[in-house]
Amino acid sequence: MVTALVTGPTSGLGRQFAIQLAAAGVDLILVARDETRLVELDLELSTSYGITCEVIPTDLSNRAALKAIENRVADVSRPVDWVVNNAGFGLAEPFLNTDVEDEQRLLDVLVTAPLRLTHAALPGMVERGFGRVIVVSSFASWVTSGTYSAAKAWATVFVEGLAAELADTGVHATALCPGFVRTEFHDRADMDVAKIPKQLWLDPADVVAKAIKDCEKGNVLSVPGKQYQAMAPMVRLSPRALVRRVTALGTVDPNTP
């Protein structure tokens, strides 16, 4: 039986990853802070799809708690075939106005947790000749604003580097780089998105379906939505000075999930 670890599965993209993998008959390890919502999701998925869920309520910014998840992922007697690093963290205020401890927690969740969980999973995956790793990055990884943007830039480049190491191993790693997605992310981070054109919003089910398909194919980057597929090359290839100026004008939201 195939097993997937999904972090942050109680809402948004994480919930869609859990649903779509469960629908494909994949057993799940669900990791999030909200135990009540985890238990509800466990009941929903196990009842609807007949799969087994292992629920682990934990805060990924807590290093001791994260270590326990690493140990579970690395347990060769209970192999994990998919690791979906989805847990999110956003800050509405600019860097100079935030609490440094909040900034540290953002990096713990968006950088440290994916790094350590992926590092724990890969040896077993490579030994078995099969594995799938998805790191939820962002279109924001190509712009220049705040720690969120920097963390997502790390995620994208991290996966691009892994691709070379994993060539011919049977293990695929994909960075999912969406733009604006209709989830709870912006509300929970207290971000004002009222002025975002409706044409820029993506449906979470479509985003996740593409990510899973791209990972299965071995595509290193997954950019959902034709509008973002058109914009991504322009942003990635533009002079960095221009990207900085455009980002500073607020044309590109650095906190797209």
In angstroms, rounded to a whole number, what is the distance separating the alpha carbons of residues 81 and 26?
9
Full DSSP string of the chain: --EEEEESTTSHHHHHHHHHHHHTT-EEEEEES-HHHHHHHHHHHHHHH---EEEEE--TTSHHHHHHHHHHHH-TTS---EEEE------SS-GGGS-HHHHHHHHIIIIIHHHHHHHHHHHHHHHHT-EEEEEE--GGGGS--HHHHHHHHHHHHHHHHHHHHTTTTTEEEEEE---EESSSHHHHTT---TTS-GGGEE-HHHHHHHHHHHHHHT-SEE--SHHHHHHHHHHHHS-HHHHHHHHHTTSS-TT--
148 catalytically annotated: yes
Q: Which of 17, 139, 148, 185 is catalytic?
A: 148
Q: Which residues lie closer than 8 Å to 4 by C-beta, 6 or more apart? A: 17, 21, 26, 27, 28, 29, 80, 81, 82, 83, 84, 132
Catalytic residues: 148
